[in-house]
């Protein structure tokens, strides 16, 4: 879309979200080729009329140069002439043209005890009432950590794509069943209700996520989604990457997280939503860089290593980089979400056919040894360090990482 048309949409976003009726537009948008059926399904899954309108306008900005005039035509054909006239004249919305946003300062990384000394390893104070089961270091005091004592703690959905349809041109993922079994057992130990779905197409992945979002999570404290599949790199505005269905069609990680955010799943508002993605973020292979011998521990990895890489795709349904000025005074939409990736965006992720992926093997071991005493973010940093020591075929490296929007420390409750 031309920049001038994007600017008109952005200036009038408040009026569009307030007055637009998306349900009247879907047939025309599909008929005129502005959106695909999958994109319309995604917009409809956004929930309320306002949320659908907001999503529609964001996605419209990602379409081609003909999208804007055809959108105006759809508005006129569906009796929404006032909005069409507003956009056609290029007039600013009735709200102020300059949106003053607050300056958000990042929180300092501090120890749970001493907020003035970042990174210092300080012994936590004794808090007998919040000590974890089975001993270990005490949990943080009230308000400093998420409530994680519901029994069960919450749902854990594992989607394990191993066998891909021939027309997808994607190889089968040998060893993924080992990853799945490890994580199913691990999260049952962490007191989650685990549901495993195998070899799903794109629409089936979306259906499972939508079903999970419609469950009543009010009696639970957390929700976990684990994706084991091939992946690729796509355009994004918060969470990079996409995960493939066995039919060769992908779902962006951005959309996977949207199903459970504060807007679309009210019963999970204020509760941690955790996403673990074992898939490639692209097709680049990291050969690392030289360091002194005392900085590197012995590495593992053999000739049987495979990747979950698919070359970068251009996401036709990626979200716009711009935000809307009609946000309400609530928690930010991505708050309480953590996405842990098996590899840095753009790079391949390695998997051994006999023992599973580096990332899942390491994650499972770290959780087994530390979940009773160490918070999740610290454990993921330990996973990063362990995986970074490996070498595939004696040459290639891998670096996991996380996009962390959690607001508090998270300690799992292990079963005794």
Decide if 167 is catalytic. no
Decide if 280 is catalytic. yes
DSSP designation for 124: P
3-class DSSP assignment, residue 235:
coil
Preceding amide of 416 cis, omega within 30: no
3-class DSSP assignment, residue 14:
helix
Distance, in Å, from the CA atom of 176 to the CA atom of 160, rounded to the nearest integer, reads 7
3-state helix, strand, coil in the chain (%, to 5): 30, 15, 55
Q: Are 310 and 280 in contact (CB under 8 A)?
A: yes
3-class DSSP assignment, residue 388:
helix
Q: What are phi and psi of 226, to 5 degrees?
A: -120, 125
Nearest to 338 by CA among 414, 266, 249, 400: 400
Tokens of 110: 């501090």
Which residue is listed with tokens 């029994």?
Answer: 151
Distance, in Å, from the CA atom of 113 to the CA atom of 111, rounded to the nearest integer, reads 5
CA distances from 211 to 64, 157, 215, 375 (A): 32, 11, 7, 29
Distance, in Å, from the CA atom of 65 to the CA atom of 240, rounded to the nearest integer, reads 25
Nearest to 324 by CA among 5, 6, 9, 13: 13
Residue of 153, 222, 223, 280 marked catalytic: 280
Nearest to 310 by CA among 401, 226, 243: 243
Distance, in Å, from the CA atom of 412 to the CA atom of 217, rounded to the nearest integer, reads 17
**How many other C-beta atoms lie within 10 A of the C-beta of residue 303?**
8
In b/e form, how buried is each residue of 88-108, taking b as 16+ CB within 10 angstroms? eeeebbeeeeeeeeeeeeeee
Residue of 230, 236, 255, 264 marked catalytic: 230
Which residue is listed with tokens 């140069």?
Answer: 65
Return the active site residues: 230, 280
């Amino acid at each position: 879309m031309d920049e001038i048309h994007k600017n008109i949409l952005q200036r009038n976003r408040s009026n569009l979200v307030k007055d637009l009726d998306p349900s009247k537009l879907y047939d025309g948008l599909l008929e005129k080729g502005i959106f695909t059926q999958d994109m319309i399904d995604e917009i409809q899954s956004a929930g309320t009329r306002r949320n659908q309108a907001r999503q529609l306008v964001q996605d419209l900005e990602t379409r081609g140069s003909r999208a804007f005039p055809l959108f105006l035509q759809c508005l006129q054909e569906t009796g929404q002439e006032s909005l069409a006239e507003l956009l056609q004249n290029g007039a600013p919305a009735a709200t102020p043209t300059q949106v003053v946003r607050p300056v958000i300062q990042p929180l300092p990384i501090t120890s749970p005890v001493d907020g003035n000394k970042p990174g210092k390893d300080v012994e936590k104070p004794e808090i007998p009432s919040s000590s974890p089961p089975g001993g270990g270091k005490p949990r943080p005091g009230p308000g400093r950590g998420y409530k994680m004592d519901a029994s069960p703690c919450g749902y854990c959905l594992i989607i394990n794509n191993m066998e891909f349809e021939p027309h997808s041109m994607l190889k089968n993922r040998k060893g993924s069943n080992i990853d799945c079994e490890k994580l199913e057992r691990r999260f049952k130990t962490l007191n989650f209700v685990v549901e495993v779905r195998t070899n799903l197409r794109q629409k089936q992945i979306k259906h499972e996520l939508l079903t999970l979002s419609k469950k009543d999570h009010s009696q639970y404290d957390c929700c976990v989604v684990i994706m084991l599949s091939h992946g690729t790199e796509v355009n994004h505005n918060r969470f990079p990457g996409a995960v493939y269905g066995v039919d060769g069609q992908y779902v962006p990680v951005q959309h996977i997280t949207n199903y459970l955010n504060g807007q679309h799943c009210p019963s999970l508002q204020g509760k941690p939503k955790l996403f673990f993605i074992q898939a490639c973020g692209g097709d680049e292979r990291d050969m690392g860089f030289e360091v002194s011998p005392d900085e590197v521990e012995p590495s593992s990895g053999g000739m049987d290593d495979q990747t979950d890489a698919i070359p970068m795709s251009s996401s036709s349904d990626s979200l716009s980089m711009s935000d809307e000025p009609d946000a309400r005074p609530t928690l930010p939409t991505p708050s309480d979400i953590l996405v842990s990736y098996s590899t840095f965006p753009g790079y391949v992720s390695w998997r051994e056919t006999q023992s599973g992926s580096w990332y899942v093997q390491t994650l499972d071991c770290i959780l087994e040894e530390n979940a009773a005493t160490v918070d999740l973010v610290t454990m993921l940093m330990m996973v990063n360090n362990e995986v970074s020591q490996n070498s595939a075929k004696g040459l290639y490296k891998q670096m996991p990482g996380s996009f962390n929007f959690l607001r508090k420390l998270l300690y799992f409750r292990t079963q005794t």
